[in-house]
Amino acid sequence: MIRVELPRFDRLAAWRAAARRLASARIQPGAVTWAEAGAAPDLFGAEPLPPPGLHPVRATPDFLALCRQVGFHGDPQRWSLLYTALLRVQEQRDLLGNPADPLVIRLQALARSVRRDIHKMHAFLRFHELPATGPRRRFAAWFEPEHPILQAVTPFFARRFADMDWRIVTPEGVAHFDGALRFSDPVPRPDLPPDASHALWQTYFANIFNPARIKTRAMRSEMPLKYWKNLPETRLVPQMLADAPRRVAAMAAAGASEAPGFAAKVTARLRLPTDETAPATLEQAGAQAAACQRCDLCHAATRTVWGEGDPDAALMIVGEAPGDHEDLRGRPFVGPAGQLLRAVLAEVGLDPDRAWLTNAVKHFKFAPQGKRRLHRNPSAAEIDHCRWWLNQERRLVAPRLTVALGASAALALTGRKAPLTARRGSVEPALDGGPVLLTWHPSLILRLPAAEARAARSDFAADLGRAAAMLGSQARSRSLGSRDQ
């Protein structure tokens, strides 16, 4: 009996090299045992492989493609089945084209199961972010596929997440990526902490869950139960199922809508506090806004980013919407654009802590791209929906002057869409009557080429300087003053 030992990784290449030599000597399948890493040693010794090149061996492209799938199945018989097929392909080149052949049927079933498993791992693997130790972000994931497919799936993750370091730990072994892929022996399941991206998965899942269309069987077959324990979003399932009848009743009570615009108005009215329940304080308003579902942005964003600063500020500064940093930290203007804003405010003698800093829209709008979240401008409808909150802030802070940063803030405050290029530096009346000074958004300055950025920054500083002047020399000399200064 010839015994072929296959290594833990690169098994398929090892099988192909041995199978070619065996087939070239026309060794019959029953005379070979295929042993995988960890198999018991052969107590009776084993015959060596025959020398290569006795007879030509030819494999067809469809057979090689089948090997690349079947080789990742967990069935220990697969190597022997593939070898049997290889011998038969020498005589019958179109063997795999015969769908009635029992060997073909069996191999195709194994291949199908591997394809399904690879698809599940691509879809359900969730990375956890680890503390950084260098310039690249680090992630780790634990996954239990049905078959030993680690080497089959990792090229996908290497392509997709090429700009970060990661580790995928499975019962079969560990894949390490730091620009190059390498594999090592299995280790115990690591203890991985949840991270911010898990909240994103949960909000996304809660958003796509339709309580009126519960198909638990389909859910289980699309997302088999065995994966649930490692998926952050499935923790929501029991609660969402329990809550479904109440949500369906509420949907029925809300009635059918006729057109998207009409539906949006109806839902806005149903979900929104009306003027009778208008908050009495900024804290109350912030707490209500935290649960806002006026538009769909709430579902993908991590949280509502409410305004902050001096509740008695004479100056209100309104940006467009929180960015990635603001969404993760829950505070406005803490990312690069916010830093530029704060630096220029300081240059013109305005203290950002004594202003009220907020946004036209309170949720981050983005398009996911791999692990990145690319900023998107809110639509006019989203600005419209969120104006209710901006109005609460304006009523409660009652600023003497408002600075609108960029076109979205200008639209939210003045109701006018005309291009900002013709309006920048001017003062227009807000919808509620107060003066609004229009200027560039600092993120525009960060995006422009150097020469244009310098010019835009100097416009921006001039506009904020004008705001300081409008608020009066007394306020300027004490940094930014509140209304009573």
> In this structure, what token pair is assigned to residue 437?
């000074």
Site for ligand URA in 354-373 (CB under 6 A): 359
> In this structure, what token pair is assigned to residue 304?
């509502």
Rg (CA), the chain: 32
Q: Does 306 bind ligand URA (CB under 6 A)?
A: no
Q: Does 320 bind ligand URA (CB under 6 A)?
A: yes
Residues contacting 407, CB < 8 A, separation 6+: 320, 417, 419, 420, 441
Q: Does 71 bind ligand URA (CB under 6 A)?
A: no
Q: Which residues pair with 479 in a beta bridge?
A: 477
Q: Does 129 bind ligand URA (CB under 6 A)?
A: no
Q: How many CB atoms lie within 10 A of CB 102?
A: 8
Position among 145, 338, 349, 352 found at the interface with ligand URA (CB under 6 A): 338
Q: Does 382 bind ligand URA (CB under 6 A)?
A: no
**Toward ligand URA, which CB reaches closer, 319 or 349?**
319
**Toward ligand URA, which CB reaches closer, 333 or 389?**
333
Q: Does 286 bind ligand URA (CB under 6 A)?
A: no
Q: Does 333 bind ligand URA (CB under 6 A)?
A: yes
Q: Does 332 bind ligand URA (CB under 6 A)?
A: yes
CA-CA distances (angstroms) from residue 134 to 55, 178, 190, 267, 445?
A: 54, 11, 21, 47, 29
* Residue whose Cβ sits closest to ligand URA: 319
| Sole window of 53-61, 97-105, 243-251, 326-334 interacting with ligand URA (rule: CB under 6 A) | 326-334
Size of the site for ligand URA (CB under 6 A): 13
Q: Does 378 bind ligand URA (CB under 6 A)?
A: no
> C-beta of 115: minimal distance to ligand URA in Å?
44
> C-beta of 375: minimal distance to ligand URA in Å?
8
**Toward ligand URA, which CB reaches closer, 227 or 306?**
306
> In this structure, what token pair is assigned to residue 247?
């949500």
From first CA to last CA, the distance across the chain in angstroms is 97
> C-beta of 172: minimal distance to ligand URA in Å?
44
Phi, psi for residue 87 in degrees, rounded to 5: -65, -40
| Sole window of 72-80, 158-166, 317-325, 377-385 interacting with ligand URA (rule: CB under 6 A) | 317-325
Confirm if 111 and 66 have CB atoms less than 8 A apart: yes
H or E segment to which residue 455 belongs = helix 450-471
Confirm if 425 and 463 have CB atoms less than 8 A apart: yes
Position among 279, 309, 335, 481 found at the interface with ligand URA (CB under 6 A): 335
Confirm if 327 and 301 have CB atoms less than 8 A apart: yes
Q: Does 304 bind ligand URA (CB under 6 A)?
A: no
| Sole window of 65-73, 195-203, 331-339, 413-421 interacting with ligand URA (rule: CB under 6 A) | 331-339
State whether the Cα torsion 473-476-477-480 is positive or negative.
positive
The dihedral formed by the CA atoms of 420, 384, 335 and 141, expressed in degrees to the nearest 10: -140
Site for ligand URA in 425-444 (CB under 6 A): 443
- Residue type at 350? L
In the complex, which residues of this chain contact ligand URA (CB under 6 A)?
319-323, 326, 332-333, 335, 337-338, 359, 443
